[in-house]
């Protein structure tokens, strides 16, 4: 059964729609004299907050060594499974031979990445960081698969708080001396 709603009849002024037109013009005039809030991107860049979660990248220690030891925790914790790691062996004659292993291949699919930051939180070596890069572009799907070289290029070198590998190297040298 239909319910009929009784409406109050419009006055003569309301029938002309002048109050509504004047109200809309008032809002338009008020906004015309407001300061601009639009950024002219890419000439103007937005202010990025300190806790911004952008593109995940790999970083090296201050001595330029790979910090990633292929533990694959970031791969396991990644909700969309955007990270793929192929562990590799380190030659015994290499300077970093005392480290467990290193990634042979490391790949992050930026089309799948949801920038959650779990990979950074779980990394025991502090090898993966979310940088403040927010503009990721490409023409093909393959360009959005960032491989190890590209990830190191974007990440660069970050200061290391604990110099873990240097301590291991000193401990190994002391162990060989005895």
Output the pLDDT for position 26. Answer: 96
Output the pLDDT for position 120. Answer: 94
- pLDDT < 70: residue spans in the chain: 96-97, 99, 160-178
Output the pLDDT for position 133. Answer: 85
- CATH number of the 66-157 domain: 3.30.70.3270
CB distance 97 to 133 below 8 Å: no
Q: Minimal CA–CA distance to 68: which of 55, 83, 81?
A: 83
pTM metric for this prediction: 0.69
User: pLDDT tens digits, residue range 80-111?
Assistant: 999 999 998 887 777 766 767 889 999 999 99
Alpha-carbon torsion angle 147, 149, 155, 160, nearest 10: 120
């Amino acid at each position: 059964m239909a319910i009929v709603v009784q409406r109050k009849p419009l006055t003569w002024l309301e029938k002309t729609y002048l109050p509504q037109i004047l109200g809309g013009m008032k809002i338009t005039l008020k906004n015309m004299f407001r300061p601009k809030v639009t950024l002219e991107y890419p000439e103007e860049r937005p202010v990025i907050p300190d806790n911004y979660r952008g593109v995940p990248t790999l970083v090296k220690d201050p001595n330029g060594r790979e910090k990633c030891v292929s533990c694959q925790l970031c791969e396991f914790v990644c909700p969309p499974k955007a990270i793929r790691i192929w562990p590799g062996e380190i030659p015994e004659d290499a300077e970093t031979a005392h480290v467990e292993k290193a990634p042979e291949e490391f790949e992050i699919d930026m089309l799948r990445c949801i920038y959650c930051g779990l990979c950074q939180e779980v990394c025991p070596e502090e090898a993966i960081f979310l940088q403040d890069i927010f503009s990721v572009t490409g023409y093909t799907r393959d360009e959005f698969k960032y491989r190890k070289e590209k990830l190191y290029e974007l990440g660069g070198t970050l200061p290391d708080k604990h110099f873990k590998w240097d301590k291991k190297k000193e401990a190994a040298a002391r162990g060989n001396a005895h």
